[in-house]
Amino acid sequence: MRRGFSLVELAIVLVILGLLTGGVLAGRSLIRASELRAVGTEYQRYKTAAYAFKDKYFAIPGDFSQATRVWGDQATGTGACASGATADGNPGTCNGNGDGVLNASTAGASGETMRLWQHLALAGLIEGTYSGVAGAGTNHAQFGTNTPASKLGKAGWSAEHTPNFAGNSFSFAFDYSNSLHFGAETTTGAGVNAVIRPEEAWNFDTKYDDGLPGRGKVIARYWNNACAAASSFIDYNAPYNLTVSTTQCALYFPRSFY
């Protein structure tokens, strides 16, 4: 005689499945929370490293005009120094021009925005090895190759000098100056794509700044009713768009390097 499962047995199976599903979701949530905390640690680490570099070498990393005297020059190959290189150094790098600005068009094909990470690593102030050379696009960041990858999946860091930016369809008008960027990698260019949700960006901004996407030390990229509930790129008092549950935000950190 065939015998099926009783209602009690089916109920027990459903409870077990529910517990397993809940455990998986809770585990994912804990992992995500840990990764988001790591973003804050990374931000503090890179700012601290840049200030330590300046204290030691009296220059901004990447912009350091005497870098080849310390680490040798990169005279040949991809990203060779624009001028003044006489022999390959070991490990080799390029000088910045010492003007206090992270220029994207100096130091060969790389620009100071890429040499920044290489100089910090050569000085032993951050972990990793970085090429100092931009990717296929102008000032293109390739996480783990020329700029640091983040512990948050598919995210990483880059830098850029953007003074008195006039604003556009996704970035607030702001004096970003020498700024750090956090987000997902793009295929070309200096920008970063969205990688965190508005609520996550708001939590980060609240912890490290004022909780508003358009002003302060933490500025949201993608203000246009995606990450922020802003009406324009000068709507500095707009809040984060907490009704959106998808990844719509990247973050800028203005005036990170002086």
List the chain domain ranges.
35-253
pLDDT band at 147 (very low <50, low <70, confident <90, very high): very high
pLDDT of 192 over the 90 cut: no
Q: For residue range 39-94, what is the model confidence (pLDDT) as tens digits?
A: 999 999 999 999 999 999 999 999 999 998 899 887 666 566 755 555 566 678 88
Q: For residue range 110-146, what is the model confidence (pLDDT) as tens digits?
A: 588 889 999 999 999 999 999 888 876 556 888 999 9
Alpha-helical (H) ranges within the chain are 7-57, 67-71, 112-122, 198-208
pLDDT of 177 over the 80 cut: yes
At 116, the amino acid letter reads: L
Instruction: Classify burial at 9, counting beta carbons within 10 Å of its beta carbon; exposed 0-12, middle 13-18, buried 19 or more.
Output: exposed
Tokens of 88: 């390959």
* Between residues 107 and 253, the one the model is more confident about: 253
155-162 vs 177-184, strand pairing mode? antiparallel
pLDDT band at 258 (very low <50, low <70, confident <90, very high): confident
pTM of the shown model: 0.83
CB 223 within 8 A of CB 174: no
